[in-house]
Structure 1
Amino acid sequence: MADAPTSPPSGASSAATPSAGPPNRAASLTRGLAAAGAPGSGMEMLQGALLVMAVLYFGQELLVPLVLAVLLSFVLAPVVRGLRRVAIPRPVAVVVTVLLACAIFLGIGALVGRQASLLAENLPTYQATIGQKLSGLQSAGGLLDRVSGAVQAMGRGIGNEGEAPAKASPTSRTEAPAPIPVEVHAPDPTAMEMLRRVAEPLIGPLATAGIVVILVIFILLYREDLRDRLIRLAGARDLHRTMAAMDDAAYRLSRFFLAQTGMNTAFGLLISGALWLIGVPNPLLWGFVAALMRFVPFIGVFVTVTGPILMALAVDPGWTMLVWVLVLFGVSELLMGQVFEPLVFGHSTGLSPIAVIAAATFWTWLWGPIGLLLAVPLTVCLVVLGRHVERLEFLEVMLGDQPPLDPEETFYQRALAGDASALAEQAERCLKEKPLAEYLDAVALPALRLAQADAVHGTLQPERREALVRSVELLVEDLEEEEDPEPAAGEPPPPPLPAAWHAPGAVLCLHGRGPFDALAASMLAQVLARRGFGVQTGGPAAEVAPKLMVLCLLEGGSSSATARYLLRRARRRMPGVPAIALAWTPTGGNDGDGALARALRAEAEAGPLQLAISLVEALDLAAEAAGTATPAVATPVAPPEPPPPLGLAAAPA
């Protein structure tokens, strides 16, 4: 089995950042979301699942030691690697590491056994103390007395209903002869029988432990050979993908087990020391239970806290010790779950919380308590398998922690459903990390591009389109109250704009004839207004001469001829006004290879025109124009009435 690499391999995530997800599906111009790597047919999937479950269930005695040995090899491999670095031969390093692990396990077992024997000796005393404390709660007329009396009365009533009234008979008055007691005494067991009774319960666990130790030794000794054989079985022809999958699995499992073992050991020591200070008997035993139960997801904490609570009730005649125990476990679990484990683990396992619950339930049903301990690492293996095997990608979709949809797809789905509140929540999360213009370029406009592709192909129903437009308009209104995140330390604030550019209508935002170009123009207007520009959308105001006009188009909505006509028409109505053409493309890059970008670039020969393919670019160009602009000398034509929006004008045939 391959060792965990010292640095994250290509494709493996670090402990503080999520693992690399699937490629961006929203970059496609079409909207076909195919099922993620589903098997050939439902019947084949059912047959395969039943066969695997049968093998796992009936091969439990063989598979459990093998799985334990593999997982222990992940934990011990870094120790072997460290000994190898100091020029110790591999066989010696493996034997020393395994012997050291066995010594640690035996020492912990002996210590825990001693603590358990002391607990068993004092159980009668603890039982009497708990009984006295509970009897003190049962005061006359108390709640416990009333509940107990009601239960007893109900039981007597049910018993009396099932009994028939006994009738007196003459023979019943005659006393029956007293029964003669009979006692059966078994012969005293022989020495061999006593030995057999003691050895039988120990043979199974000792045999399993011996098999695990032998398997761990051989896995650590021949890990390269085992890796080569697994590569041969998995696919030697696709060596790169096979190695990536194995390195990813080794890195994730090794990191997870090392981190969890260290964290759980520290947690157990902390609990032991705190319980010793509080005065709870057998603190080492409860610390070991706390460390072991940390491997069990969700229900381990309830098993851990039960023993110390009972001990607190049995030792302390009052309630002070019980309160301290509850405070200890409440604070420690909160810190471990919300502070330390997220810092150490992050998303290294790659499992969703629902997958952890489902995995714990399944493996416990299949293999019992040992399956509960192995649920998380076994499910991690399935997620890694789904990440690298195309036909098993559904495993990663079902069990992994990566979002099933990209942010722009989530935006599109929420907008189609008319869920403006969900759009606002998504925007709030994104705006904590990036400015408004970057969020709109990365999420909102790609979502509108997906909707536009559906509208062009005729698959977007009118009612869905209306719901989408209404939801996005509400989102744009809500975003007016949101603030951009604070700039990084040392980053200078943007320079202030000249006073003339703050006047309403200083920048005119026009939109094309695409189905969602008007929403794009609204978003650009909001970005410019946040920067301090005075913005007017639609058509120019009669009393204001704009200093800059911006034509907003989404690639694929308006045709090239329509875009060029709208730009020429705007120039005729506002001669001498600088123009910016925003031809937003799905990539958001700087290549400008879209049809609209090429058509509008050709129009730059007829007059001053700057091309932008993202909101961030358009904002930078507008700020540049404001910083270098001179007072306008051309007198714009002011018609007696405001002209209609240019995006709604009819284009020539």
Structure 2
Amino acid sequence: MVRVLPTERLLGSGNESSALSDSRHEQPPVIKRTEIVAIALVVLTAICVTGVLYVARGFFLPIVMAFVVGTMLSPAANFLERYRVPRSVGAVLIVIAVAAGLAFIIGLISAPVLDWTNRLPELATQLKAKLHVFDRPIALWHEMQTAIGGGSAQTSSLELPKFDWVQPTIEFLSPTFTEFLLFFATLVLFIASWRDLRRTLIMTFGDHDARLRTLRILNELELHLGNYLLTVTLINAGVGIAAGIACAVAGMPNPAGLGALAATLNFVPIIGPIATFAVLVVVGVITFPTLSGGMVAPLLFAVITFMEGHFVTPTIIGRRLAVNALAVFIALAFWTWLWGPMGAFLASPLLIVGLILKEHLLPDTSPQLPSD
């Protein structure tokens, strides 16, 4: 015997099934196990690569430095090649010119640095004697620490740090002769064979679209890194000249060396200008009899770097190479920790390389969020 169900029950079951199916669609997406495994593998790979780069920094730092600087200098080799200069000869001439420029800057900086290094104990005594103005605030600070039970009030004057760490730190951060030799040899060979390397890398891919994408990436890397080196060098040279003039006007000793130091340290974003300002403060306080007189040159340099960072650099470099300040700071901290001062120099170029690769290899195809 066949029973006929009421129409209401049939409709009700249909509504319930559609509601269940709708509720399933409204549930948030669940992360699959394969996705978790893929994320874990990426994290482990990044940790392993970072460890290898840190342990083998003596090999990878000169090689990466040569590749980045060679890509920056490739437009100069192309320019010489257009005037019938063989590329190998042009590579040697470019490297000799770069080495001569570095030797000139080091010569300007090294003489006063060596003189001041030999006089560190005497200069530390002079600096301590001129900073007695801070004795009363320091005494109040120690009294407050004693009142809350956090220290003793025996020390009431400014204690300068010992300078025993300076020489070991310089020896640790300075590259060895072998690293310099590896860098310059790799740089010459890279510039001389850059066209063949480009062709080989492009022809590695069999797909036409992949070859075209690789060609675009290489062209953009060469263009933007070359523009970055040229513009930053010109800007930093201007900052160094302006800093030297400011030091000369303020009566600072060896203004040419201080200007060269300002131009060199300005290649390191954020940290470089701060370090130059600190050096000018120390030199000014030691040189001049009054604290106000010693702060003239540092304050002029602060004005120069403010104008350069907020008006000159954004205008010349433009929005195309402008990157987020937080990204620059994190990249600077990471590469400085990994490779020291040379890593700090490479932080911005490597960040530009990463952004170009991300733009071409991982294009943004997701829908844009609505405007506020």
What code does the residue aligned with 1:71 have? Answer: V
Change in 2 beyond 3 A, CA 1:202/1:245: closer
Q: 1:46 aligns with which of 43, 46, 49?
A: 43
Q: 1:99 aligns with which of 88, 96, 101?
A: 96
What code does the residue aligned with 2:370 have? Answer: T
Secondary structure of the equivalent of 1:410?
A: coil
In 2, Cα distance between equivalents of 1:146 and 1:47: 50
In 2, Cα distance between equivalents of 1:343 and 1:133: 41
1:212 is aligned to 2:183: yes
1:362 is aligned to 2:347: no
CA displacement, residues 231-250 of structure 1 (integer Å, 9 cap, x when unaligned): 24466542211111111121
Change in 2 beyond 3 A, CA 1:361/1:203: closer
What code does the residue aligned with 2:176 have? Answer: P
What TM-score results when the alignment is normalised by the length of structure 2?
0.75
- Structure with the bigger percentage of helix: 2
State the partner residue of 1:336.
Answer: 308
State the partner residue of 1:222.
Answer: 193
What code does the residue aligned with 1:317 have? Answer: P
Percent identity (aligned): 25
Change in 2 beyond 3 A, CA 1:126/1:234: farther
State the partner residue of 1:240.
Answer: 212
State the partner residue of 2:63.
Answer: 66
The structure whose Rg is larger is 1
State the partner residue of 1:312.
Answer: 284
Change in 2 beyond 3 A, CA 1:148/1:378: same
In 1, Cα distance between equivalents of 2:172 and 2:322: 39
Change in 2 beyond 3 A, CA 1:89/1:52: same
What code does the residue aligned with 1:88 have? Answer: V
Secondary structure of the equivalent of 2:370?
A: helix
Q: 1:277 aligns with which of 249, 252, 258?
A: 249
In 1, Cα distance between equivalents of 2:300 and 2:278: 13
In 2, Cα distance between equivalents of 1:244 and 1:224: 14
State the partner residue of 2:16.
Answer: none
Query: How many angstroms does 1:202 deviate by?
Result: 11
Secondary structure of the equivalent of 2:131?
A: helix
CA displacement, residues 137-168 of structure 1 (integer Å, 9 cap, x when unaligned): 54xxx44444456668964589xxxxxxxxxx
Gapped regions of structure 1 (runs ≥ 5)? 1-37, 159-199, 398-403, 415-653
What code does the residue aligned with 1:302 have? Answer: I
In 2, Cα distance between equivalents of 1:357 and 1:91: 37
Let me know the Cα RMSD of the aligned residues.
3.1
1:301 is aligned to 2:298: no
What code does the residue aligned with 2:184 have? Answer: V
Secondary structure of the equivalent of 1:76?
A: helix
State the partner residue of 1:255.
Answer: 227
What code does the residue aligned with 1:207 have? Answer: T
CA contact (8 A) 1:129 1:314 kept: yes
In 2, Cα distance between equivalents of 1:56 and 1:286: 34
Q: 1:325 aligns with which of 297, 302, 316?
A: 297
Query: How many angstroms does 1:310 deviate by?
Result: 0.8
CA displacement, residues 526-573 of structure 1 (integer Å, 9 cap, x when unaligned): xxxxxxxxxxxxxxxxxxxxxxxxxxxxxxxxxxxxxxxxxxxxxxxx
In 2, Cα distance between equivalents of 1:249 and 1:304: 31
Count of equivalent residues = 319
What code does the residue aligned with 1:206 have? Answer: F
In 1, Cα distance between equivalents of 2:197 and 2:327: 29
- The correspondence of residues 8-23 of structure 1 with structure 2, limited to 5 A, is none
Change in 2 beyond 3 A, CA 1:405/1:124: farther
- The correspondence of residues 350-429 of structure 1 with structure 2, limited to 5 A, is 351-390=323-362, 393=363, 406=368, 409-411=369-371, 414=372
In 2, Cα distance between equivalents of 1:318 and 1:344: 39
Change in 2 beyond 3 A, CA 1:157/1:106: closer
- The correspondence of residues 432-581 of structure 1 with structure 2, limited to 5 A, is none
Change in 2 beyond 3 A, CA 1:137/1:245: closer
What code does the residue aligned with 2:269 have? Answer: P
Query: How many angstroms does 1:230 deviate by?
Result: 1.9
CA contact (8 A) 2:66 2:184 kept: yes
What code does the residue aligned with 2:75 have? Answer: P
Query: How many angstroms does 1:385 deviate by?
Result: 1.3
Change in 2 beyond 3 A, CA 1:83/1:246: closer
In 2, Cα distance between equivalents of 1:137 and 1:112: 31
Query: How many angstroms does 1:222 deviate by?
Result: 0.8
Query: How many angstroms does 1:210 deviate by?
Result: 0.9
Query: How many angstroms does 1:54 deviate by?
Result: 3.5
Secondary structure of the equivalent of 1:87?
A: coil
In 1, Cα distance between equivalents of 2:305 and 2:175: 35
State the partner residue of 1:346.
Answer: 318
Secondary structure of the equivalent of 2:176?
A: helix
State the partner residue of 1:110.
Answer: 107
Q: 1:290 aligns with which of 251, 262, 281?
A: 262
In 1, Cα distance between equivalents of 2:152 and 2:306: 47
In 1, Cα distance between equivalents of 2:331 and 2:174: 30
In 1, Cα distance between equivalents of 2:120 and 2:45: 51
In 2, Cα distance between equivalents of 1:106 and 1:236: 47
Q: 2:74 aligns with which of 58, 73, 77?
A: 77
CA displacement, residues 591-623 of structure 1 (integer Å, 9 cap, x when unaligned): xxxxxxxxxxxxxxxxxxxxxxxxxxxxxxxxx
In 2, Cα distance between equivalents of 1:130 and 1:405: 60
Secondary structure of the equivalent of 1:295?
A: coil
Query: How many angstroms does 1:39 deviate by?
Result: 11
Change in 2 beyond 3 A, CA 1:156/1:266: closer
In 1, Cα distance between equivalents of 2:292 and 2:202: 60
Secondary structure of the equivalent of 1:71?
A: helix
CA contact (8 A) 1:74 1:257 kept: no
In 2, Cα distance between equivalents of 1:126 and 1:50: 44
Gapped regions of structure 2 (runs ≥ 5)? 1-34, 155-170
CA contact (8 A) 2:59 2:179 kept: no
Query: How many angstroms does 1:204 deviate by?
Result: 5.5
Change in 2 beyond 3 A, CA 1:135/1:256: same
Secondary structure of the equivalent of 2:323?
A: coil
CA contact (8 A) 1:83 1:93 kept: yes
In 2, Cα distance between equivalents of 1:76 and 1:40: 41
Change in 2 beyond 3 A, CA 1:267/1:366: same
Change in 2 beyond 3 A, CA 1:325/1:91: same
What code does the residue aligned with 1:225 have? Answer: D
Change in 2 beyond 3 A, CA 1:218/1:270: same
Change in 2 beyond 3 A, CA 1:131/1:47: closer
CA contact (8 A) 2:314 2:322 kept: no
